[in-house]
Amino acid sequence: MNPVAKTTAGKVEGFQKDGLNVFLGIPFAAPPVGERRWLPPEPLQPWSGVKETGAFGPAAPQIIAPPNSQSPLQTGFKVDTSLGTQPAANEDCLYLNVWTPGLDNARRPVMFWIHGGGFTGGSGSSPMYDGGVFAGRDDVVVVTINYRVNVFGFLRLNEVTGGRIPSSGNEGMLDQLAALKWVRDNISAFGGDPGNVTIFGESAGGGSVGALLGMSAAKGLFHKAISQSGSAHFLNQRDEASQYAEYFLGILGISGSDVDALRALTMEQVLRTYVKTLPAPKGIRGPLPVIDGRIFSELPIDSIKAGSADGIPVMAGTLSDEWRLWQVMDPAIVDLVEGHMFGRFRRMMPSWDMTETVEAYQRVLTGRGVSTTPTEIFLAVMTARMFWIPTTRMLEAQVSRGNPGYCYLLNWKSPLGDGMFGACHAMDLGFLWGAHGTEFFGSGPVADALSSNMQDAWLAFARTGDPSCQGLGKWPVYGDRRETMILGKKCGVEEAPLEEERLIWDSAPDSVFRWG
């Protein structure tokens, strides 16, 4: 007999797999379609009877790469048809998924996963994110979610439409907030504890964790946080978001006053126009969460410094070669010359003179025995600027207020392409979700041990707020000695890894670490 749970909107029926109760495609907000496009999520309309939730709901509208253009991350992944087929994109996309060992009163820790994808794509139904990996390993409830991305979730239209479509540019973040409220109101019916919720995410999901730590409306909806390759530094300013909206409507050829024409656009027309804005012209930043003065009044890092995340244990980390993944998407990096390197830096960090920074990296790389070509310098600078330094600053801000913070650095290198990827962005996903064993991630007993250790640490943190576990031993709090857990072929605690790089950026303002 299939499991049935009662939510505030009505009953849902899932299925059983490997001893777990699985519910896929549970709606957590009204479909953001028609006049709801570009507006905050609205409450669900209750239903009668029992809704079947045996297949994933649609993914948020996004650009789907054709099968012949798979990235290394996708290689070797197959859809588990017993968990429902992977759906096509649709504006009716606000669905979440639950894996639970029991529909009882056990009040299990809840792990709430926020997918990555650069705020442009991704979904909670990716074959990678099988919540049964965690729920089956320990007695926890796992939730994965969708949220609106790209111009459907982060397009500020308030100014350009004269308030006729009052979107803030944070609708995708408000989707996450709505999903957290659903967990608060419903997860006890799935055997979970609404008073012990851990948010965790990678890349844009890690950035979402950082943003939620600084969002006052999210206070009390989660109790622990894990940011993987994310930051709390990246939001757009309101005028930047409005400038992009003007550019977007200009390409559409639609006036901001013609709200009916905007709402009449098909999903495909909106996406095609979005593609035409890529890459945006110099000086125009693409759609991201926005400092709008209401949902976000400042960068999340500044809110964290002021105490927005007090009382919340935070675990955060990065990979040692994050930016090497972008060599696949930006082949020009491989043959970068010095002039082009400095040109890129000027566009990204117009207020920061990179001359001394580049000279410092030449010394650091030489000391490591790494060539000091513009390509190697660029990769090292971008890894630090986008990931390592923002992560350490977020942890510093949190622990300086007496809150527990834990740091990690993953240095496992991909064997693919003769090691060209190193420990690149997203390498942690395969090990965390037990999806390694492919050519990209690597296989064997050492890889299996790393995966087990990571899963146990994440589970321990979700249960107690401390990631110490049997396989890794004691994981100390990040303090004055910058104690960091190294995750790789050899795992263990090091004090102040990459300290010479951190010192290079020590005087840089937080604005230098904005994404872009």
Q: What is the pLDDT of residues 128-154, one digit of tens each?
A: 999 999 999 999 999 999 999 999 999
Backbone angles phi, psi at 230, to 5 degrees: -125, -165
pLDDT at residue 67, as a whole number: 47
Q: Which of 425, 436, 451, 501 is catalytic?
A: 425
pLDDT mean over 99-120: 97
pLDDT mean over 28-46: 97
| Mean pLDDT score of the chain | 95
- The rounded Cα 133 to chain-centroid distance in angstroms is 19
Q: What is the pLDDT of residues 373-405, one digit of tens each?
A: 999 999 999 999 999 999 999 999 999 999 999
- CA gap 172, 135 in Å, rounded: 27
Three-state SS sequence of 185-209: HHHHHHCEEEEEEEEEEECHHHHHH
Residue 319 CB partners (closer than 8 Å, separation 6+): 229, 383, 387, 409, 410, 411, 423, 424, 425, 427, 428
* Cβ atoms of residues 209 and 198 within 8 Å: no
Amino acid sitting at position 321:
D
pLDDT at residue 84, as a whole number: 72
pLDDT at residue 72, as a whole number: 63
Domain 313-513, CATH number (from 3.40.640.10, 3.30.559.10, 3.40.50.1820, 2.120.10.30): 3.40.50.1820
Q: What is the pLDDT of residues 307-325, one digit of tens each?
A: 999 999 999 999 999 999 9
pLDDT at residue 87, as a whole number: 82
**CA distances to 23, 139, 279, 432 from 106, in Å:** 18, 9, 49, 25
Instruction: Concatenate the DSSP letters of all residues of 136-174 into one string.
Output: TTSS-EEEEE----HHHHS---TTTTTTSS---S-HHHH
- CA gap 60, 70 in Å, rounded: 19
Q: Which of 322, 414, 436, 483 is catalytic?
A: 322
> Is 322 noted as a catalytic residue in this protein?
yes
Q: Which of 123, 167, 203, 320 is catalytic?
A: 203
Give yes or no for residue 68 having a pLDDT over 70: no
pLDDT at residue 243, as a whole number: 97
Residue 455 CB partners (closer than 8 Å, separation 6+): 133, 134, 137, 432, 434
Fold of 20-28+63-302: Rossmann fold (3.40.50)
Tell me whether domains 20-28+63-302 and 313-513 share a fold: yes
What proportion of the chain, given as a percentage, has pLDDT over 90? 90
Q: What is the pLDDT of residues 442-472, one digit of tens each?
A: 999 999 999 999 999 999 999 999 999 999 9
- Kindly list the domain boundaries of the chain, sorted by start residue: 20-28+63-302, 313-513
Q: What is the pLDDT of residues 466-506, one digit of tens each?
A: 999 999 999 999 999 999 999 999 999 999 999 999 999 99
- Among residues 301, 412, 329, 434, the alpha carbon closest in space to that of 117 is found at 329
> Is 203 noted as a catalytic residue in this protein?
yes
- CA gap 398, 30 in Å, rounded: 35
